[in-house]
Amino acid sequence: MRLGVIDVGSNTVHLLVIDAHPGAHPLPDYSHKVELRLAEQLTPDGQISEEGAARLATFVRDCTEVAETRGVSELLGFATSAIRDANNTDEVLDQVRRASGVQLQVLSGENEARLTFLAARRWFGWSSGRLFLIDIGGGSLELAAGIDEEADAVASLPLGAGRLTRELQLLGDNPAEDDLRALRKRIRSDIAEVHRDIAKVGQPHRVVGTSKTIRSLGRLCGAAPQSEGPHIPRSLARADLTAWVPKLAAMSPAERTSLPGISQSRAPQMLAGAMVVEAAMELFDVDELDICPWALREGFILRRMDAL
């Protein structure tokens, strides 16, 4: 069957059309996305703004037209922290449904972690043994560990790169040392709260990182560019990342765009993202992680394919 999946993230809304067959890996057919930055569309009282909700509804409606053109037989959609954490979640979902006919499924942080873990397990296979997953998005950080396809322990923390950048006003040039120190303390304190639950699963045989932020940090630290394809092994070493954090702090967002792997849209939040990933690697004593090209979207697709 031809399946369409709409991924409503904190930064980007993405329609992916894939050919799905039981027992086979999903074959991408078409990609259609836009940067809506819903997490930045919050009003002072924590609601998605009228403009943000209207733009989302319009884009999802456009996705239904694209899906029909591409011969999609089933169109699904899910939303993550930007919608989940808003104070008007139900109203936004209803507006999207009225405009497009699509009922978005709001994933909990725990489900995000479990689906992303499934994607990493399927990508790297059983020979990888016990996996430990680090996934950072715009709104949240997901951690998961386990020996099977279902993670034995998961955690979701409000440590997304975009969220921290907005909350601590790191969008400007040269953030103050006090702000960076406060951010570092908050990140490590939050991760420490869930450390025992994750660590008690056991020492991982393989540590995996997913998400656009980690792929960008990997590229910054010397991993192969995306143009070389998904099957090139890519990794991120903690020592390299630690060396880059003060450099990123000393650069303006505009200056970061000259670095390999960092786009203009992602540049402002790369510092916060680097600090979160560095903290997770240090607190869990990870020297190096393998970068997985599959993440939440693929996990969602794989779960649906399993139900066919």
Domain 109-297, CATH: 3.30.420.150
Model confidence pLDDT, tens digit, residues 19-49: 988 777 888 999 999 999 888 888 889 899 9
User: Shortest CA distance to 58 belongs to which of 12, 113, 95?
Assistant: 95
Nearest Cα to Cα of residue 260 among 223, 230, 293, 228:
223
The pLDDT of residue 24:
79
pLDDT band at 3 (very low <50, low <70, confident <90, very high): very high
Q: Which residue has the tokens 């930007």?
A: 82
Which residue is it, tokens 């989940």?
A: 84
pLDDT of residue 167: 77
Q: Residue 74 — very low, low, confident or very high, per pLDDT cuts 50/70/90? A: very high
DSSP notation for 198-234 = HHTT---SEEEEESHHHHHHHHHTTPPPGGG-TTS--
Q: To the nearest 5 percent, what fractions of the chain are helix, strand and coil?
A: 45, 20, 30
Q: CB–CB of 179/196 below 8 Å?
A: no
Give one word for 37, left, alpha or beta, with left for phi > 0 and alpha for psi -120 to 50: left
Does the pLDDT of residue 170 top 60, yes or no?
Answer: no
pLDDT interval class at 217 (50, 70, 90): very high
Give the closest residue to 233 by CA, choosing from 246, 223, 247, 221: 223
Provide the pLDDT for residue 187.
96
Fold of 2-106: Nucleotidyltransferase; domain 5 (3.30.420)
Is residue 173's pLDDT more than 70? no
Dihedrals phi, psi of 9, to nearest 5 degrees: -100, 180
What distance in Å separates the CA atoms of residue 8 and residue 26, rounded to the nearest whole number?
A: 19
Q: Which two tokens stand for residue 149?
A: 């396809």
pLDDT value of position 271 = 94
Region label for 148, one of left (φ > 0), alpha (ψ between -120 and 50) or beta (otherwise): beta
Within a 10 A sphere around the Cβ of 276, how many other Cβ atoms? 26
Q: What is the tally of helices (H) and strands (E) in the chain?
A: 11, 11
CA–CA distances in Å: residue 216 to residues 32, 153, 170, 223, 280: 21, 26, 19, 9, 17
Q: Which of 129-133, 169-173, 237-241, 264-268 has the lowest mean pLDDT?
A: 169-173
The string of pLDDT tens digits covering residues 126-157 is: 999 999 999 999 999 999 999 999 999 999 99
**What pLDDT digit, counting tens, does each position of 49-65 carry?**
999 999 999 999 999 99
**Residues near 85 by Cβ (< 8 Å), separated by ≥ 6?**
46, 139, 158
CB 96 within 8 A of CB 36: no
Q: What is the mean pLDDT of residues 147-168?
A: 93
Q: How far apart are CA 218 and CA 277, in angstroms?
A: 11
Taking residues 85-109, report their average pLDDT. 97
2-106 shares its CATH topology with 109-297: yes
Q: What global pTM score does this model have?
A: 0.95
The string of DSSP letters for 6-20 reads EEE-SSEEEEEEEE-
Evaluate if residue 102 carries a pLDDT over 70: yes
Average pLDDT score over residue span 221-246: 96
Residue 172: per-residue pLDDT: 57
304 pLDDT more than 70: yes
- Asked if residue 108 has pLDDT above 90, the reply is yes
- Spell out the domain ranges in the chain: 2-106, 109-297
Which tens digits make up the pLDDT trace of 174-210? Answer: 788 888 898 999 999 999 999 999 999 999 999 999 9
The per-residue pLDDT for 166 is 83
